[in-house]
Structure 1
């Protein structure tokens, strides 16, 4: 099947609207001129609404991981301790980045399990410069308790650094209310732009913490981003990926046109529909929740049926024109994941579930098809 016909139902990259692709084909402009400054300011205005923040907003030409490294590299020195929370692949990544710059005191959970907040607080009581959290752990389909972590960070005077890569733009993320000092997201997730840009919010407190840093990254120096953004005629400190900025601006206009409340509700409803279908098909969700964690509203992670590798499900779905995701690292072959973020619509969810049913029936997992589609449809009928 031609790649143009493949429906991307992964947890990013997500399908990009044609108008975004058209915007990226615009002629080049001067990245030190008024046209770029106006575009950058426009993007930052919409992003401030998505982040629900009055903090500084920056866009870095680099993936979400570049944003994660900027957050750590600009605030953590060799003698500083970071409490790094890990219950999935991206929590592990934050931990590994922190270990490159400072000392790590990790809180480790089995991937997909919920954090014990008492254990988190105990770590913070030992003294820490910062705490890192992946709000929506994409690798495991679990939404972690950012509000509660923010409360603990404030209580123990630690910087709160948060990966919001797959929650910002698709879920209710209250950066200021939760006391997030640095938050990071990526262009190819809920905002539904092409990959390659990291969007960040940075608090005054975070910038004050940078004042006593002996060394800072060069390309990822957030103080340099602030200095350039504060100039008359907003700029980035280094040459930006201009076509990606064109695409980001158009994608953000789509977000604004839909409205964040409507966009968040669409993501939530699609998550509920997928989970209803999973239950109707006799499958099991992967995350192990407690009273403070939730299922992700932007990606669902399911255990592979007994005796079947998730790689087989992924392969069969791809052959039917739908790209879903398998498990990463230690979860390889054990789980499969369906993304419902960005511009994914109910019709995309319904088609994905329909094809999943056919795959499962062909593999001898279910005797008949229809139960999953019916369950998902009931959710959409009730909510849309």
Structure 2
């Protein structure tokens, strides 16, 4: 849904009914993840894509049918077909489970209000029931960054509370995911499968060391959607003119700045100074914070010296094991631009718990499915628990 949020927002403002088709589950290798949507309005205008083209025609016709009939949401399954070259199917070999529902801004005003938050850049989670009781399938509940439900309702009671708690945790983690709830009279009496669409704030990339490599990394980080800060204690180097792509350039001692700035499980910390008087105090603090990635630049010799100094400073092996040093993947990089690609490639691999090896040497599905996990017994997940299962603490954000 988030892939077409601006168009849906405009249609809601215009009071234009539309059919919304959303991928609610992916099996095997599929081109786009769960949460991706296509929408069709009453005039036949379509926006979005869920398969890169191979099933769009069938989804379009299903949307037109649901919109015309004004009936209940419908489910459709698309899998691989090799018997007929013209059959509907995914040539990539994956399987898609698609939910199609009709949205009328006149009767679903909360949907437009949620889209308004999303396009305005306010962190928002939209929880959509994709399986469960007939009268709840397709229903949505919007949750804001403070964890409170802001728009919509499911049952007005325990179900709302349970879904709000889960959606709030996923919003803090910054990742869209599918959750399973129910069969627990104390929290959620109905068994539900809920897809939580998360429009989170931009994750942060903190680059310490105002060097040429930092300028290239700033551009790469911004391209990937990070809010990028460059920090250096030397005012002659830490200037906005040298780093026009940074959201913020700070003149301060690195460890002092990190100690007082906001970080979370999606924050990437990149230390490019390779100077012990900056590195060691900074890394001691960074490796003790709940950030997603900590990497430090330097040669093998610098790395060994860095490890020795960190241990002498009292840092445990468990904390040191979080350090990516020397920073980046082995791409044979030489220039600042190549090095920046090496670094962000490692952050992406770390984010997705991927190996970083060539796909040609691997086997199995290329695309990892969106995780599906049950609610905890008490119905109130802590951030660490929900975040770990949703893939938090691994760097960059996702759809």
State the TM-score bracket (shorter-chain normalisation).
under 0.3
Whose radius of gyration is greater, 1 or 2? 2
**TM-score in terms of structure 2 length:** 0.24
More strand by share: 2
TM value normalised by structure 1 = 0.25
